[in-house]
Amino acid sequence: MAAQDDAPFLRIEGVSKSFGTFEAVKNVSLTVGKGEIFSLLGGSGCGKTTLLRMLAGFETPTKGRIFLDGHDMAAVPPWERPVHMMFQSYAIFPHMTVEANVGYGLKHEVGLSKADRAARVAAMLDLVQLSPFAKRKPHQISGGQRQRVALARALARQPKLLLLDEPLAALDKKLREHTQFELMSIQERTGVTFIVVTHDQEEAMTLSDRIAVMDKGEVRQVGTPTEVYESPSSRFVAGFIGSVNSFEATVVGREASHLRLDVPALGGEVLTRDMPGLVAGQNVSLAVRPEKLRITKDRPEGPNCLAGHVKDLAYFGKDSLYRIALPGALVQAHAVNARRGDEGARIADWDDAVWVSFDPSSAIVLVD
Amino acid sequence: MSRGRFARWFDMRGWTLLLIGAPYVWLVILFLLPFLIVVAMSVATNTPTAPPFSYGGDHPWINLEPFSRVLTDGLYLRAFLTSIMNAFVAMVLCLLIGYPMALGLTRVSKSWRTILLMLVILPFWTSFLLRVYAWMGLMGKNSWFNGLLTDFWNFLVPLDWAIRSVPMMHTNFAVVLVMVYTYLPFMILPLYASLERLDPTLDEAAMDLGSRPYQVFLDVTLPQSIPGIIAGGMLVFIPAAGELVIPSLVGNASQPMIGKIIQDEFGQARDWPMASAVAVALLVLMVVPTMIYSRYQAKAEGAK
Amino acid sequence: MKRSPVFLVSILCFGFAFLYIPILSMIVYSFNASRLATVWGGFSTKWYVSLMSNEAVIKALVLSVQIAVVSATIATILGTMAGITLARFTKFRGRTLFSGLVTAPLIMPEVITGISMLIFFILMADWIGWPGQRGFTTITLAHITFCMIFVTTVVSARMVQTDRAIEEAAMDLGSRPWQVMFDITLPVISPAIISGWLLAFTISLDDVVISSFVTGPGSTTLPLLVWSKVRLGVTPDINALATLMIVTVGIGVAAAGIILHRSEKRRLAEERLAFRNND
C-alpha cells in the first residue's frame, strides 16, 4: 500500500547528535516514502527517541540534514513544522477538556473559522470514537481513551508526518493488540506518514511497512518486517528480533546451490543456503530460529540432522519450547501443539533421545 | 505568513532570555550587589564622615582591624558563643520534641494525620511576632502559667526555698524556649517527610527477625531518618543563630546575641565596617553547617 | 492501621498543647476587662473597640497590606520566572550563579539581608540620588527580593513534577514558546503560583527584621508598630490584634485546606471511575 514516489518524502542525511561527549545518534541516513508506517526499533538508549525528537524539532542535529517533502527542516522551529507528535506519556493538557485538547493546534491555523474548527474537532473525535467524551477532563477518562485523544490531537492539524513515541507502551496487553489494528486503520484512512518509535519488536513487526533496527546510535538494518526477521544482516539484528540459536562457524566450501559450514558446536558440518561473497576458511555465524528446528524421535531424511536429548521443556498452550542438549551446545526449539491431547501426546519428554533437524534454506549465515 | 525579524528572534531566543534575565538581573542588583557591598565594607575603615567609611587614608587599602576585633574582643566572642549555645540548645530540644511528634504523625490514622499536619503548618501562616508575644503573656510574673509553675515548685521544695514567681522573662532560658516554640514546625515537617517515606514492612521484617521495638527504632528507623534530622536541624539552627526579634523581646539585654550586635554596631555606633565584619563572620559560621547539609543531601540523592 | 504506642500519642498531645496553649491563652486574655494584661478581670470586648479606633494601628495595617500586595504580586511574577528557569533550562551560561542566587537568601540570616539592603540603599542615594527617601519603595523592593525566593522554591518544585512533554506537545502543535507558557505552563502550575503568592503575601505581611532596617520616617508597618509596642510589655489591645490576625489566618488556611482536600478526593474518585470504565 505504501505508494512510493521517486523522490523520498522524508530524507535523513548523515544525521548525528551529540550531548557533550556522548554521541546519541551516529551518522544516520534514512528515507521514508509518503504514506508509509516506518518504525525505529531498538533498546533503550539506542538513539531512536533522539532521532524522533530531531524530526519534531526539539533537538537540532549536530551534523547532517533532514528534508521533508523537499524542504530543509534545519532552521524550522518545532511550532512551524508540519510534523506532529504523539508523546509516550500522551502529554494531554490536564486543564483542558478532551475537545479543547483536540482543537488546541487548530487555533494557530489562520483563516479557519470557528465553525470549521468545531467541525474538524468533531470529525477527529469521531475518527477515534471519542465523541461521547468530548466534554470530559483528561482525568475522567481511561488510559486507552487518553491515547486516542493524543492521536486525534496530533492528527487534527493534518500533519505531513506523524511521530509516535512508544504509542502502545502505556497500555495493558489486551488493549494493545486492539489499538495496534486501530492505529493501522486510522493511518490507512488518513494517509498520513507514520514514524513509530518502539522497543517492542512484535509491535514493530505488526504495525510497520518497514523497520529500521537501531543500536548504539546507529541504524543496523532497514527492511520490511519479513526481511529483518528472515534475513537479518547481522548477529545483533538476528538476536534483537525474535530469538535465535547462533553458533560460530567456518566456511568449508560450496556445493550445488548450498554452502557447507563447519560448526564445531554442532559436532560437524551443515548445509545452508548459498550466500555470495563468502570464501572457504572465512569465520561466520550460523543462526537458526527456534521454530525452524524440527524435533523427531527417528532420524529424518535429508541433511542437517543432529542427535541430542531433551533437557527441558515448557508448555505454553499453543506451542511448546524444548531445550535440547546436543554434544556441544544447548539449542532451543519451538514446536506447535497442533494436536489436542494430554501430556502423553507431546513429541518428546524429558531426557528422551531426539533428532533435531533444519532445512538448509531456513538457516541464516551472518558475517557481521 | 511573513513575520518580522524581531518577532522571530523573540520566539527563538528573546523569550527565553527575558524569562531567565528578569529574575537574574533583579537578584544580582538587589541581592548579590548589596551582599558584595557588605563584604567590601568589612575591610573598609570607619570614619566620621557620611557615609561613615573610607578606603585608604592612614590605613592600608584593606583594613583587617574589624576582623581582628571580632576574633579578639570579648564582646563579640561572648555574643557568638551565646548565639551558638542558644541556637544549639534550641535545635536539640526541637529534635527531642519534634522527632517523637513526627513519628507519632506517621502512626495515626489517615484522616487524623491530615488534621494534625495542618495544625503543625498553621503557625507558619500566623505572625511570627505574635507567636513570640504569646509567650510573653505566659512568662510574665503575674500570668496564670507562671503562677502554676511557681505553685508546682513550691509544692516540691521546702518552705525556705519557696519563690513568689519563676524568673523567666529576660533570660537565655526564655530565648531558647521561644525559639523552640517558633521553630518547632521547621523541625517536624522535614522529619515527618523523611519518616513517612519509610517502608513499614521494614519494621515488620526487623521485628520478624527478632528485634524488640526499641531495637527496631535504633537499627531501622533512626538511621533512615538522618537526612530529615539534618534538614530540620539546619532549618532551626540557622535562623536561631541570627535571631534578632526573640532576644529583643524576651532575652537578657546584658547577654546580647550576634544579631543585636550587628544592629547596634550599625545603628548606635555608626561603625559600618565593624557591623559588616561581624555579619561576614556570622555568615562564615552558617556556611559550614550548610555545606555539611548539602553534602548529605547530595549523598542521599546519589543513593536514590 | 497499626496501633499507636501510648508514648507517641502522649508526646503528640504534649506537642500540640505546647504549640497551641500560648495562642489560646492570648485569645482568652484579649477578652480580659482588666488593664493588666495578665490578670483576669472579667469578660470584655473593649480592647477590640479601642483597637478599631486606634488610628496608628489602622494606618500601619493599611501600609502593611499595600506593601504585601505589591511585593507579593511582583515577587510572584519574578519568582515564577525564576522557578521555571530553574526547572526547565538546565544549561545556560551563569546557571550555577543563578541557582546560588535563588538559594542563598533562604539561608542568609535576616539581619544580614537587612543590613546589606540598607547599606545598598544609602549608598545608592548617595551616588545616584535614588531612593531619595526610605519607606514604601525600599521596603517593597526588599520584600520582593526575599519573597520571590519562596515563590521560586514552590514553583520549581511543582515544575519538576510536571510532565515536560505537555509543553513540548503544545509547541509541536504550533504554539510559540511564550504562547506555550500562557496556554499550558501557567494554568497547569497555577496551584503552585497561588500558594506562592499567598506565601509571599504572608511573609511580607509578617516581616519585622528586614523592614526595620530599610524603613524610613513615617513608614511604620504593622509588625514594626507591634514590635515597638511589645518591647514595652504585654498590652491587652495587642492581644486583641493578635487574636484578630490569628483567627483570620486560621480560618483562611483551614478553609483552603478543606477545599483542596475535597477537590483532591473528588478527583481521585473520578479517576477510579474512569479506570473502571476502561474500554
User: Residue C135 carries which DSSP code?
Assistant: S
CATH of the domain at C54: 1.10.3720.10
DSSP state, B32?
I
Same domain assignment for residues A267 and A219: no
The three grid cell numbers given for residue B292, joined into one nine-digit string: 555539611
Q: Where are the beta strands (DSSP E) in chain A?
A: 10-19, 22-32, 37-41, 63-68, 71-72, 83-86, 161-165, 193-198, 210-215, 218-223, 245-255, 258-263, 268-273, 283-288, 294-296, 305-315, 319-325, 330-336, 353-357, 364-366
Specify the 3-state DSSP secondary structure of A314: strand
Are residues A205 and A179 part of one domain? yes
A141 touches chain C (CB under 8 A): yes
pLDDT single digits (tens) B70-80: 889 999 999 99
Whether residue C8 has pLDDT greater than 90:
no
Residue B20 or A341, more confident: B20
Helices (H), C53-176: 55-88, 95-107, 110-128, 136-161, 165-172
> Is the CB of residue C173 less than 8 Å from the CB of residue A102?
no
Which of 60-79 (A) contact B at CB < 8 A? Answer: 77, 79
pLDDT digits (tens, 9 = 90+) for A173-219: 888 888 899 999 999 999 999 999 999 998 999 999 999 999 999 99
SS3 B58: coil
What is the distance between the alpha carbons of residues C116 and C141, in angstroms, rounded to a whole number? 13
C-alpha angle B61-B67-B68 in degrees, rounded to nearest 5: 100
pLDDT in the model for residue A342 = 56
Q: Is C18 on the interface with A (CB under 8 A)?
A: no
Does residue A4 lie within any of the structural domains?
A: no
Q: Which chain C residues have a beta carbon less than 8 Å from that of A95?
A: 187-188
Q: How many domains does chain C have?
A: 1
Same domain, A177 and A78: yes
Q: Which CATH class is domain B74-257+286-303?
A: mainly alpha
Q: Are residues A93 and A235 in the same domain?
A: yes
User: For the stretch A113-125, what's the b/e string if a residue is b when 16 or more beta carbons lie within 10 angstroms of its beta carbon?
Assistant: eeeeeeebbeebb
Question: Is the pLDDT higher at C67 or at C130?
Answer: C67
Task: Return the higher-pLDDT residue of C233 and A360.
Answer: A360
3-state secondary structure of C187: helix
Report the distance separating Cα B188 and Cα B106, nearest Å.
11
Instruction: State the pLDDT at residue B303.
Output: 59
Confidence of residue C279 (pLDDT cuts 50, 70, 90): very low
- Measured between CA atoms, how close is A140 to chain C, in angstroms? 5
Q: How would you write the pLDDT of chain A (368 residues) with one tens digit per residue? A: 444 445 789 999 999 999 989 999 999 999 999 999 999 999 998 999 999 999 999 999 999 999 999 999 988 999 999 999 999 999 999 999 999 999 999 998 888 899 999 999 999 999 999 999 999 999 999 988 999 999 999 999 999 999 999 998 888 888 888 889 999 999 999 999 999 999 999 899 999 999 999 999 999 999 999 999 999 999 999 989 888 998 999 999 888 788 899 998 888 889 898 888 888 889 999 999 999 998 888 888 888 888 899 998 888 887 888 999 988 888 999 888 766 655 555 777 888 889 999 998 888 999 87
Answer yes or no: do A266 and A188 share one domain: no
pLDDT digits (tens, 9 = 90+) for A38-72: 999 999 989 999 999 999 999 999 999 999 999 99
Is C23 among the domain residues?
no
Distance to chain A for B3, nearest Cα, Å: 12
Parent domain of A219: 10-239
Q: Say yes or no: A64 and A150 in one domain.
A: yes
Please say whether the dihedral angle defined by the alpha carbons of residues C159, C165, C168 and C169, taken in this order, is positive or negative: negative
Question: What ipTM was reported for this prediction?
Answer: 0.92
Per CB-CB distance under 8 Å, the chain A contacts of C187 are 95
Q: Would C172 be classed as within a structural domain? A: yes
Taking CB atoms and an 8 Å limit, are A110 and B11 in contact across chains?
no
Same domain, residue pair A92 and A228: yes
CB atoms within 10 A of CB B125: 18
CATH assignment at residue A189: 3.40.50.300
CB-neighbour burial class of residue C157 (10 A; exposed 0-12, middle 13-18, buried 19+): middle
In a domain, A25, yes or no: yes
What residue numbers bound the domain in which C123 lies?
A: 31-272
Contact assignment for C278 to A89 by CB distance below 8 Å: no
**Which amino acid is it at A34?**
K
In angstroms, the Cα distances linking C60 to A120, A213, B235, C211, C221 are: 58, 72, 30, 13, 5
The count of structural domains within chain A is: 2
Query: C168-221, pLDDT tens digit by residue?
Result: 999 999 999 999 999 999 999 999 999 999 999 999 999 999 999 999 988 999
Q: How far is CA C159 from the centre of its chain?
A: 20
CB B33 within 8 A of CB C127: no
Q: Which of C167, C173, C267 has the most A C-beta neighbours within 10 Å, making it the best mutation to test the interface with A? A: C173
| Interface touch B1/A77, C-beta < 8 Å | no
**Range with lowest mean pLDDT among A266-280, B243-257, C122-136:** A266-280
- Among chain A residues, the shortest Cα distance to C186 is held by A95
Residue C2 in domain: no
Locate the chain A residue with the closest alpha carbon to B11: A77
Nearest to C174 among A89, A91, A157 (CB): A157
Residue B242 and residue B282 in contact, taking contact as beta carbons nearer than 8 Å: yes
- Report H helices in C189-235: 190-206, 209-214, 222-230
Q: How confident is the model at residue C2 (pLDDT cuts 50, 70, 90)?
A: very low
Of B103, B126, B142, the CB nearest to C36: B142
Domain for residue A138, yes or no? yes
Q: Give C18's contacts in chain B (Cβ within 8 Å).
A: 97, 181, 184
User: Does A1 fall in a domain?
Assistant: no
Tell whether A287 and A335 lie within a shared domain: yes
In chain B, pLDDT over 70 holds for what percent of residues?
96
Whether residues A79 and B1 touch (CB distance < 8 A) is answered with: no
Please provide the average confidence, as pLDDT, over all residues in chain C: 90
Chain C CB within 8 Å of residue A295 CB: no
Q: Which backbone phi and psi does C195 adopt, to 5 degrees?
A: -70, -30
In a domain, C12, yes or no: no
Q: Quote the CA–CA distance of A221 and A243 in Å, as a whole number.
A: 17
Task: Give the domain ranges of chain B.
Answer: 74-257+286-303
pLDDT of residue A327: 82
- A93–C188: do the CB atoms touch at under 8 Å? yes
Same domain, residue pair A192 and A258: no
Q: Is A354 in contact with A333 (CB distance < 8 Å)?
A: no
Q: What are phi and psi of A45, to 5 degrees?
A: 80, 15
Q: The C-alpha cell of C74 is what?
A: 511582583
User: Are residues B132 and C37 in contact, defined by beta-carbon separation less than 8 angstroms?
Assistant: no
Q: C75 to chain B: nearest residue by CA?
A: B23
C18, B242: Cβ pair inside 8 Å?
no
Cβ–Cβ under 8 Å, residues C196 and C148: no
CB contact under 8 A, A91 and C279: no
Count of CB atoms within 10 A of residue A217's CB?
22
